[in-house]
Amino acid sequence: MHSISWDPKLISKYNINGPRYTSYPTALALTTDFDPKLIEAAIAGSSDELSLYLHIPFCHKLCYYCGCNKIVTRHQHKADQYLDALADEMAFYAPLLTNKRINQLHFGGGTPTFLTEVQLSRLMQLLQQNFFINSDAEISIEIDPRSCSDDKLAHLRQLGFNRVSFGVQDLDEKVQIAINRVQDTELIRHQVALCRELGFGSVNLDLIYGLPFQQPDSFAQTVEEIIRLNPDRISLFSYAHLPERFAAQRKIANSSLPDAPAKLALMQLAIEHFVAAGYQFIGMDHFAKPDDALAKAQQAGKLQRNFQGYTTAGRDALIGLGVSSISQVNGVLWQNTKELSSYYQAISRQQSPVERGFALHADDKLRAAFISQLICHFELDITAFSQQWQLAHFWQYFSDALSRMQPFMEDGLVEVYAERIKVTAAGRLWVRSICACFDAYLSSGQQRYSKVV
């Protein structure tokens, strides 16, 4: 990344509410008026290789900033009941995936490391019984350092996990206390080093900017320590303060949060430090070493985006298992019920836990491909895209988008040529807003999204 414009005028002008475009249309388009038969047809017509996502909703402790679907409990046996339900859900998909292979498997949550070694073994056994997992599949898990012992890390490696992602968020104790997530820096150092010793192929560290009491000096210390830990990837997420939607966030006082300019300064600090340390700025909120698979995919023009974020496995080939999980396969989106009780009830009745869905139309698929290309690679070949999608008159089709994009062009954030569209280095911060110009659904429900930075 070359140069970024940190003009305060641009901040106030373009820091609007907008989607993260892990899908198009976004999950807000999903409706209960959905025919489950579309799932079988979508999978039947999909590619030979798919990704699996498993949502583990349980956490031992409540993190005040978190907006994920989670259940805070100390009762370990609740995970056994959940695995029973997952087994039944897997049995539904197994016949549909007989001729498919799984090339990526990801455990998210919640806190996947809430599971004990015995429960993790059982879950992996269930997956292997129901699905064909490639021998070289990418198998990853999100880790809370506080719930992952050395023995559990070693066990994960023995089970075949080769990628791990640690939730760090911030190393400053005052910030940690404010978000109710106190974890010792030495513990994180130790676990990252142990992952290297155990042979995990990739380590990712998550950070969040915009948290209570974050200051440039202390956050710079966190960033520098992250660089010293030398992870393969870094995720830098913007804290979305939505206390009206997430009750736990009401424990965070508005007065403790950095204002918009201060928050952006934290982001600027992190980006400049990570890029100076040799990380490739993938876009929006991800960094990777140049030799990492994510960076290589972007360099080769093959990077994509799905509900898990940036991916090398395809944006239209993901099946989600568990409460609240979202799937996207072959132009069809569907989501399981968000309530655990409803999930259990559906499973016990041998019914699908899918609560809502959406089948993309021709225009949706076209715009989805456009947005994916721009948000992953910041450039689009108009001629090649038009040929692929049989568009005789590209700008006639996107005439409304062109007018909405005019301010971004005038501010030097995006450049439009006869045969290509290019998001400038300065415009990369605002790529979500630029993509929103091509969103046919955004006029409704925009305020339900977070600020773009």
Residue 146's contacts (CB-CB under 8 Å, 6 or more residues apart) are 60, 61, 183, 187
pLDDT in tens, 294-305: 999 999 988 888
Question: What percentage of the chain carries pLDDT values higher than 90?
Answer: 80
Q: Are residues 179 and 302 in the same domain?
A: yes
Q: Are residues 16 and 34 in the same domain?
A: no
How many domains does one find in the chain? 2
Torsion of CA 416, 417, 422, 423, to 10 degrees: -20
In a domain, 385, yes or no: yes
pLDDT in tens, 195-232: 999 999 999 999 999 999 999 999 999 999 999 999 99
State the pLDDT confidence band at 1, using cuts at 50, 70 and 90.
very low
Q: Are residues 206 and 81 in the same domain?
A: yes
pLDDT at residue 308 is higher than 60? yes
- What's residue 264's pLDDT? 85
Q: How far apart are CA 138 and CA 217, in angstroms?
A: 37
State the pLDDT confidence band at 449, using cuts at 50, 70 and 90.
low
pLDDT at residue 184 is higher than 60? yes
Q: Are residues 206 and 286 in the same domain?
A: yes
- What's residue 93's pLDDT? 97
Residue recorded with tokens 């509410």: 17
Q: Are residues 34 and 6 in the same domain?
A: no
CATH number at residue 98: 3.80.30.20
State the pLDDT confidence band at 429, using cuts at 50, 70 and 90.
confident
- What's residue 366's pLDDT? 95
In a domain, 224, yes or no: yes
In a domain, 342, yes or no: no
Q: How far apart are CA 222 and CA 288, in angstroms?
A: 18
Q: Are residues 142 and 96 in the same domain?
A: yes
Q: Are residues 311 and 384 in the same domain?
A: no
State the pLDDT confidence band at 21, using cuts at 50, 70 and 90.
confident
CATH number at residue 377: 1.10.10.920
Residue recorded with tokens 């007065």: 255
The reported pTM is 0.92
Averaged pLDDT for residues 99-107: 96
Residue 6 sits in which domain range? 1-25+362-453
Q: Are residues 291 and 420 in the same domain?
A: no
In a domain, 43, yes or no: yes
Averaged pLDDT for residues 178-195: 97
Q: How far apart are CA 196 and CA 362, in angstroms?
A: 46
In a domain, 160, yes or no: yes
**Is there a contact between 231 and 204 (Cβ–Cβ < 8 Å)?**
yes
In a domain, 355, yes or no: no
Q: Are residues 170 and 313 in the same domain?
A: yes
pLDDT at residue 22 is higher than 70? yes
Residue 31's contacts (CB-CB under 8 Å, 6 or more residues apart) are 356, 357, 358
Q: Are residues 132 and 227 in the same domain?
A: yes
In a domain, 338, yes or no: no
Q: How far apart are CA 268 and CA 6, in angstroms?
A: 8
- Range with lowest mean pLDDT among 13-17, 269-273, 277-281, 328-332: 13-17
pLDDT in tens, 233-244: 999 999 999 999
Q: Are residues 250 and 307 in the same domain?
A: yes
Residues forming beta bridges with residue 411, ordered by sequence position = none
pLDDT in tens, 47-70: 999 999 999 999 999 999 999 999
Averaged pLDDT for residues 404-420: 92
Q: Are residues 276 and 390 in the same domain?
A: no
* Strand 71-72 relative to strand 101-109, pairing: unpaired
In a domain, 387, yes or no: yes
Examine the fold and report which residue of 319, 345, 372 is the final residue of a domain before the chain moves on.
Answer: 319
Examine the fold and report which residue of 319, 334, 350 is the final residue of a domain before the chain moves on.
Answer: 319
- Range with lowest mean pLDDT among 47-56, 347-356, 421-430: 421-430
Examine the fold and report which residue of 319, 336, 351 is the final residue of a domain before the chain moves on.
Answer: 319
